[in-house]
Chains A and B, each alone.
Chain A
Amino acid sequence: MTQTGDIKTLKLDGRDVSARADETILQIARQNGIFIPTMCELEGLSSPGACRLCLVEVKGSSKLMPACLTHAEEGMEVTTGSERLVNYRRMIVELFFTERNHVCSVCVSNGNCELQSLAQKVGLTHVHFPYRFPGEQVDASHGRFIADHNRCILCTRCVRVCDEIEGAHTWDVMGRGIQSHVVTDLHEPWGASASCTGCGKCVQVCPTGALFEKGRSVAEMHKRRQFLPYLTLMREGRE
């Protein structure tokens, strides 16, 4: 039974809500039917707070706070959808599109892509920033999967699922800033990876068409993520 002291009362977009102290603003918002966009966050994995899409305003703080990492506090007043936040979010999504080469019409994930649907949700109609058009590699060395770095948004879900759920830690991040890339092992071809178990969890959690199954044609890559919270629960149950 949760102790009364653990329950916090706070305001979310002017509404009084109550939550446990260990719950994040993002979780509380979802429980209350408030939509906050996310990309790096995925239920069942740790949150790095990297994508900055879930930033919210907290009264009394000049900084914007990531809803996925900010916990409920007594008397907190949180705004989730101010004009400033909406503009920032759209800008972040625009930057996703400019950083690599996202061409929805000829992507395996067209129609089933989190980035694509997020762009629609935040009202992205065009991109204000110049595209970078980097010449990224397509790693098709694996027998079953392809990594197309042109479509990677560096959410690191693949890195976390491989480390936290599969326990293989095949994926990691190499480089800094705009030079960052996800790599397999010590930047070896995926097919040559000694640690990869071929489980495919990375492919299923990837929000875009960056990781996909070989042989999939355009708009054919449907990802299944339902397994993740269940696996997490089972692993926690054993500890």
Chain B
Amino acid sequence: MAATRTITIDPVTRIEGHAKITLHLDESGRVADARFHVTQFRGFEKFCEGRPFAEMPSLMARICGICPVSHLIASAKACDALLAVRIPPAAEKLRRMIGMAQVVQSHALSLFHLSSPDLLLGMDADPAKSNLFGVLEADPQLARDGIALRKFGQQIIERLGGKRIHPAWVVPGGVSNPLSREDRDAMLAAIPEALAIAQHSLAWLKSVAETFADEIDSFGSFPSLFMSIVKPNGELTFYDGKVRFVDEAGNTIADGLEAQDYAEFLGEKAESWSYLKSAYYKPLGFPGGIYRVGPLARLNVVQGCGTPLADEELRIFRAARGRTPLSSFHYHQARLIEALFCIERIEQLLRDPEILSTHVRAEAKPNAFEGVGIAEAPRGTLLHHYKIDEQGLVRWANLIIATGQNNLAMNKSVLQVAQRHVRGEKITHGMLNRVEAVIRAYDPCLSCSTHAAGQMALRIQLISPQGEILDEAVQA
């Protein structure tokens, strides 16, 4: 059997959207290449054409049921740019708060609901148990904590926006309703429990990470750039700031980049084998301009978080893993540090008297024909770019989604994990699950990134050089 082969994992499980992975084997049976294929297509950029721009935030939020708030925010910011207004301070604070509530719930979903089975039960665990119910059996408190942390975020979204999924509350010019004192007080009352959960979850994750010491080095561990928006003082932000790139040593290689100039520094390349485009840092070209976004990238980019508990955890993280941890395994820890930061910031915002201001919306007609909105979504930097006509109807839209920006890194990570763990013609569950687990570390949202529908599932195929499918595994 001196022939090259391909293994296909189709569908990929415990991720958000539809994907498959193909592993191409060389003649000696070693993995020569790996591809992460996103197999869904949606077309939001096209069918929004002709719609009134004010509908865009809620229309675009329908891209995703997990991070609709990020799309609301990026879209509303693009619309603010069309109106050419500065939104009232209270509106900005309220938008920040709902954005961070979503980061908490989404990070909890990723870590506890999707990845904790791998971390708690091991990569070789019985697939029938590798889910939240398996976690609930093995460590009920951990599962309950995950659910409670997600609930914390979701309930803030509900109190602010009226409902947990797809609130229409973030609008061009601000938000549609102010925060009531009762809701403020109820949210404040939930802070201590959320803080405690984030802290002891971090302690658990740090201890469990030690058992993966062997895997961490081949779990998407390679030099790349990291990108996120940062505050002017270099602190972590999810709402506004300018774009910064750092290299694998944490050196800033580009800073102060404006969202509206994204086309100058971000390139996107479409491949025939995936609906997900690959983004790259333009000055370094494709694929040399590989960069990562999301929790790990943000923590690698920033000087500090800006809140006491998160800053202390960041210090511990860097002391243990270096200034810029390179293994994508560390996305998990970064996610919890960010959740902790968000809870602390939400508390600060809730204690700000201005948060109850009733002036929460700037009214204007469109004053610009083009607008770009940027925000940090749970999975990374999100950009919405619209062009409208003189009547205010959308004529063109472009979205750059976090998952697309991690596409090159996810492909490289799959290759690295596969090269380390996949041997021969048969796919074992542990092999397959490790390949999937590295994808989960990025918490990709394929529904967003292809701007898709249905359940997430993963397929792996093993393909010979002649294109023959040697083995196939499906996890649903």
Contacts and interface: CB of A to CB of B under 8 A. Distances in A.
Interface in A104-140: 105-106, 108, 110, 138, 140
Interface string A197-239: 0000000000000000011111110000000000000000000
A209 to B, nearest CB: 10
Main secondary structure of the interface of A (DSSP, over half): loop
B392 interface: yes
Contact of A140 (B52, B62, B172, B363): B52
A214 B166 contact: no
B369 to A, nearest CB: 14
Contacts of B172: 215, 217
B51 interface: yes
Nearest to A215: B54
A81 to B, nearest CB: 33
B57 A218 contact: yes
Contacts of A215: 54, 172, 363, 365
B432 to A, nearest CB: 37
A138 B393 contact: yes
Q: Which of A140, A141, A146, A214 has the most CB of B within 10 A?
A: A140
A217 B166 contact: no
Interface string B167-202: 010011000100000000000000000000000000
Contacts of A218: 55, 57-59, 168
Contacts of A148: 52
Interface string B418-437: 00000000000000000000
A215 B62 CA distance: 19
Given A138-B393, A140-B393, A217 B55 contact: yes
Contacts of B171: 217, 220
A191 B390 CA distance: 12
B61 to A, nearest CB: 9
A108 B55 contact: yes
B50 interface: yes
A105 B62 contact: yes
B391 interface: yes
Q: Which of B55, B62, B172, B176 has the most CB of A within 10 A?
A: B55
Nearest to A108: B55
Contacts of B392: 140, 214
Interface residues of B, number: 19
Interface in A76-124: 105-106, 108, 110
A236 to B, nearest CB: 37
A146 B52 CA distance: 8
A220 B168 contact: yes
Interface residues of A, number: 17
A164 B168 CA distance: 36
Contact of B57 (A138, A141, A146, A217): A217
B161 to A, nearest CB: 11
A146 B50 CA distance: 12
Contacts of A106: 55, 58-59, 62
Contacts of B166: 105
A110 to B, nearest CB: 7
B51 A138 contact: yes
Nearest to A106: B59
Nearest to A217: B171
Q: Which of B57, B58, B176, B365 has the most CB of A within 10 A?
A: B58
B170 to A, nearest CB: 9
Interface string A161-204: 00000000000000000000000000000010000000000000
A217 B391 contact: no
29 contacts: A105-B58, A106-B55, A106-B58, A106-B59, A110-B168, A138-B50, A138-B51, A138-B52, A138-B393, A140-B52, A140-B391, A140-B393, A146-B52, A191-B391, A214-B392, A215-B172, A215-B363, A217-B54, A217-B58, A217-B168, A217-B172, A217-B176, A218-B57, A218-B59, A218-B168, A219-B58, A219-B168, A220-B168, A220-B176
Those 8 A-B pairs whose CB atoms lie nearest each other, nearest first: A218-B58, A140-B391, A217-B171, A218-B168, A219-B168, A106-B59, A217-B54, A215-B54
Interface of B: 50-52, 54-55, 57-59, 62, 166, 168, 171-172, 176, 363, 365, 391-393
Given A140-B392, A218-B57, 11 more contacts: A105-B62, A138-B50, A140-B391, A214-B52, A215-B365, A217-B54, A217-B58, A218-B58, A218-B59, A219-B58, A220-B171
